[in-house]
Amino acid sequence: MSHGYSPFPDHPYDRMHSDNIVYYGGNPYVLNNATVDALIEDYLSASPAELAEAARLVQVAAKYNIPYIPLFLSDDTHAIRSEWTNYTIKPGGIFTTFNPQTVVFMTSSVDNSLFVMAYSSDIGEMNPLFWRSERSHWYNMLVYDTLLSFDNESNLIPWLAEDYAISADGTQINFTLRTGAQWHDGLPVRPEDVEFSINYYKNGPSDVNDWPTFQHITSTSVDGQVITINMDQTMAFAPHIFGTQMYVLPEHVRDDAPQNDARWDDPTNGTAHTGSGPYEFDSRDPDEFTLVTKFANWWGPTNPYVGQLPNIDAFRIDVVIGQDARILAMRAGDADSERYEVFGAYVNVVLNAPELTLVTGLASQWDYVLGFHLNVTEPGFPGLGISDFRVRKAMSHAIDRAQLVNIGRLGHGRETHSIIPETFYASLYHPDGDFWEHNTTIANNILDAAGYLDVDGDGVREYPGVVLPPPPPNLILIGIAGAVALIIGIVISYFIFRMRKG
Q: Which residues contribute to the site for other proteins (CB under 8 A)?
A: 3-4, 6, 10-11, 14, 19-20, 22-26, 114, 116, 118, 121-122, 124-125, 130, 132-133, 205-207, 211-212, 260, 265, 283, 285-289, 291, 316, 318-322, 324-325, 328-329, 331-332, 334
* 8 Å CB contact between 176 and 164: yes
**Which 8-state DSSP code applies to residue 93?**
-
To other proteins, the closest distance from the beta carbon of 15 in angstroms equals 9
Rg (CA), the chain: 30
Percentages helix, strand, coil for the chain, rounded to the nearest 5?
Answer: 35, 20, 50
To other proteins, the closest distance from the beta carbon of 459 in angstroms equals 33
Nearer to other proteins, 307 or 322 (CB): 322
To other proteins, the closest distance from the beta carbon of 288 in angstroms equals 5
Nearer to other proteins, 21 or 455 (CB): 21
Q: Report the distance separating Cα 128 and Cα 196, nearest Å.
A: 15
If one counts every other C-beta atom within 10 angstroms of the C-beta of residue 262, the result is 11
How far are the Cα atoms of 224, 225, 244, 460 from residue 161, in angstroms, in the given order? 13, 9, 11, 60
Helix (H/G/I), strand (E/B), else coil: 156: strand
Nearer to other proteins, 39 or 44 (CB): 44
Nearer to other proteins, 124 or 385 (CB): 124
Nearer to other proteins, 122 or 162 (CB): 122
To other proteins, the closest distance from the beta carbon of 479 in angstroms equals 45
Torsion angle, CA of 142/144/148/151, rounded to 10 degrees?
A: 0
To other proteins, the closest distance from the beta carbon of 28 in angstroms equals 11
To other proteins, the closest distance from the beta carbon of 204 in angstroms equals 11
Nearer to other proteins, 83 or 210 (CB): 210
CA-based end-to-end distance of the chain:
82
To other proteins, the closest distance from the beta carbon of 290 in angstroms equals 9
Nearer to other proteins, 115 or 183 (CB): 115
Helix (H/G/I), strand (E/B), else coil: 376: coil
Nearer to other proteins, 4 or 489 (CB): 4
To other proteins, the closest distance from the beta carbon of 285 in angstroms equals 7
If one counts every other C-beta atom within 10 angstroms of the C-beta of residue 121, the result is 12
Q: Judging by DSSP bridges, how do beta strands 413-415 and 68-75 pair with one another?
A: antiparallel
The values of phi and psi at residue 121, to 5°, are -155, 160
If one counts every other C-beta atom within 10 angstroms of the C-beta of residue 105, the result is 17
Q: Report the distance separating Cα 72 and Cα 200, nearest Å.
A: 39
